[in-house]
Structures are given as C-alpha cells and as structure tokens.
Amino acid sequence: MNKAISAKLSLNLISKRFNVADFGCASGPNTFVAVQNVIDAVEDKYRYETGNNLPDNFEFQVFFNDYNKNDFNTLFQGLSPERSYYSAGVPCSFFERVLPKKSFHIGMINYAFHFMSKIPKGITDRDSPLWNKDMHCTGFNEAVKKAYLDQYSVDIKNLLDARAEELIPGGLFLIFGSCLRDGVKMSETFKGVGMDCIGASFNDLAQQGLIEQDKVDSFNTPLYIAEEGELRQIIKENGKFTIEAFEDIIHPNGEFPLDPKSLVASSKAIFGAFLSAQFGVDVMRKAFELVEVKAREEFSRFKNAKPGMQYLIVLRKN
C-alpha cells in the first residue's frame, strides 16, 4: 500500500487539506490502524518528494462510513486523543453516494468488498429453482452461483460509480479483502469447510428441537466471495478505474492460524452477527460450541482445504 501511495497518488496540496475515507469502517479499532497507515504513507511520500515534513498548517480529515445502524458511538469513543486528523461519520450504504463530488484523495474499503446489498431473489424461496437450502457455499450449484454473481456485479458497479464521483482526480481507491483463486470453489477452502461445520451444527440444534429446521434451511448471507478473475472482470467492465495493483498478500503463517479455537473465533467474527440476527445470540453461541467440536473431529478437512486469497487492489480513477 505504501508503495502504491508513493508511486501512484498525485499529490495536489494546494488546499492544504487531505481527505481519507474508510468505507465499511465498523466500530473500530481496525479502522484507526488503517487510516493511520494511509496518513503515514502520505506523509512519507511528501517527505521523500520534497525533503521536508508536511507544513504545520496542513490538515488531514477522515470520513468514517458504515450503515446508519453501525455503532458510531463506540467508534468515536475509540478515537485516540493524540490523532493527527479531524474526523466525521458518514452513515449510509456504500452502494450509494455517501459524500459530495471530489471529496477525498484516498478511499479504502477493508474486508467489506464481499458484502452485497441483498440476498438474490429466489435464494430463500422454497418454491424457486434457486432455493439454496444449505448454507451459502455447500449447495452452491451453478444457478445459485450465477444469481449471487449477477447481484454482486450490480452492487459493485454501483459502489465503483459512487466512489468514482466522490474521488478527487489523481486519488486512489484501495481495497483489502479476501477472494477465491480462479477455479477454486468456496466449499474447497478453509472458509467453506468452516461454513459446512456451522451449517451441520445448526442442523444438529434443529434435530434436538432447539430451533426450527425451516429457519436453518432459509438461512443465507448477503456475501459473495468472488474469484480473482471475477473481480478483475467487474472492475474492468465498470470502466471507471484502472487496476494499478492486484497483490496477493501472503502471510507467513498461512491464511488463518490452523487450530480449532482460532478457526471458530474467525468464523464467529465473520458470520456471528448474521447468525445472531436469524437465531438469537444464545443459539449462535451454542452452535459455535458444536462447531469447535466438529472442527476438532474434522481437522484434517481444514488441513487439506485449499487456501483462499487475501488481496490488496489499488484502483486509480480513469
């Protein structure tokens, strides 16, 4: 990211103000680290190019975006008093315009690029050919995949159209997230195996009579983990941005720490809120106790699963 900011960002500092926007910021603290990293990289670039620090009257402003039901109180209470930027919350869906035209120099979206505006039509309808009874990935037949990809493509096009208007010319849009390598199915990855364990655990709870089977069968998430090629294609077809970098982020310890406790913690972080909304927090917690047992029993499946891909995409407005 630092290299991209150094090489690709056109700095126009006439206004002595630099705006950063984080889309899908949640309630912290990750967003604070992310925006600080961007600010540090901009300061480094200025220093490298001019031999000087940014002038004292130079100001950074950060826009924190998420849904209006996001916990912005917790977010603002977590802001460090020592921060070097002004801050504002901009509540709204990032699939729409969130800010006025030419509002920010660097925008980013971290681990929220796989969200969709809604679950595609038919997926939760028992009478539809698209009915997806299993959890998201396991029963992902071609028709279900196409319905998800079609909706995802529309949503991402709207997102990119909105950001293209809001971005200052010469600015960058950075996307950190997770995708599938081309040709790899979700069900073949750690996350897919994890979802299978979650689905099986909820089925167990239904069989014990703790929840209705119907509620389990109708559970789906508005998430689509795209293949790398699909992401490239959607961005290319949208035409508003050039892909300056599409980097595979390889962590020395692999994608996730491979032990059942960490796998459960990461699955809970990803799917916990959706599952609580459908089944309530107590059932969600109970199910994850079962997930941990299953993850221990079926650990070889996790070990043999194919890795997903963590990426950084750097986009520059055309």
18-26, 79-87, 194-202, 251-259 -> range binding ligand SAM (CB under 6 A): 18-26
Q: Which of 58, 76, 85, 111 binds ligand SAM (CB under 6 A)?
A: 111
* Binding segment toward ligand SAM, per CB under 6 A, in 26-34, 82-90, 206-214, 286-294: 26-34
Asked if residue 70 binds ligand SAM (CB under 6 A), the reply is yes
Helices (H), 61-141: 72-77
Task: Please identify which residue in 95, 190, 271, 279 interacts with ligand SAM, judged by CB under 6 A.
Answer: 95
Q: Decide: is 233 part of the binding site for ligand SAM (CB under 6 A).
A: no
Binding of ligand SAM by 152 (CB under 6 A):
no
Parallel, antiparallel or unpaired: strands 167-179 and 17-23? unpaired
26 binds ligand SAM (CB under 6 A): yes
The nearer residue to ligand SAM, 116 or 295, going by C-beta atoms, is: 116
Of the candidates 1, 21, 31, 316, which one interacts with ligand SAM according to CB under 6 A? 31
In the sheet with 85-91, reading across from the earlier edge strand, the strands are 85-91, 59-66, 17-23, 104-110, 167-179, 309-317, 241-248
Q: Does 72 bind ligand SAM (CB under 6 A)?
A: no
What is the distance between the alpha carbons of residues 170 and 7, in angstroms, rounded to a whole number? 11
- By CB under 6 A, tell whether 158 contacts ligand SAM: no
Q: How far is the CB of 85 from ligand SAM (least distance, A)?
A: 17
In the complex, the smallest distance separating the C-beta of residue 268 from ligand SAM, rounded to whole angstroms, is 12
Within 51-97, where are the H helices? Answer: 72-77
166: contact with ligand SAM by CB under 6 A: no
**Closest residue by beta carbon to ligand SAM:** 24
Q: How many chain residues are in contact with ligand SAM, going by CB under 6 A? A: 16
Closest approach of Cβ 277 to ligand SAM, in Å? 12
* Residue 190 binds to ligand SAM (criterion: CB under 6 A): no
Sign of CA dihedral 223, 226, 231, 233: negative
Cβ-proximal residues to 228 (8 Å cutoff; 6+ apart), any chain: 179, 180, 181, 182, 246, 309, 311
- Say which residue the tokens 């681990």 belong to: 111
Residue 120: is the preceding peptide bond cis (ω within 30°)?
no
- Per DSSP, the three-state class of 207 is helix
Is 156 one of the binding residues for ligand SAM (CB under 6 A)? Answer: no
Nearer to ligand SAM, 27 or 84 (CB): 27
User: Least separation, in Å, of the C-beta of 60 and ligand SAM?
Assistant: 19
Q: Where are the alpha helices (DSSP H) in 185-298?
A: 190-207, 213-217, 228-238, 260-279, 281-297
User: Where are the alpha helices (H) located in 12-115, listed in sequence order?
Assistant: 30-50, 72-77
- Which residue stretch of 110-118, 126-134, 180-188, 238-246 sits at the interface with ligand SAM (rule: CB under 6 A)? 110-118
Tell me whether residue 94 or residue 288 sits nearer to ligand SAM (CB atom): 94
The residue assigned the tokens 């020592």 is 82
Tell me which of 46, 104, 113, 115 binds ligand SAM, using CB under 6 A: 115
At 244, list the tokens.
């300056």
C-alpha to C-alpha distance for 84 and 36, rounded to whole angstroms:
9
Binding-site ranges for ligand SAM (CB under 6 A): 24-26, 30-31, 65-67, 70, 93-95, 110-112, 115
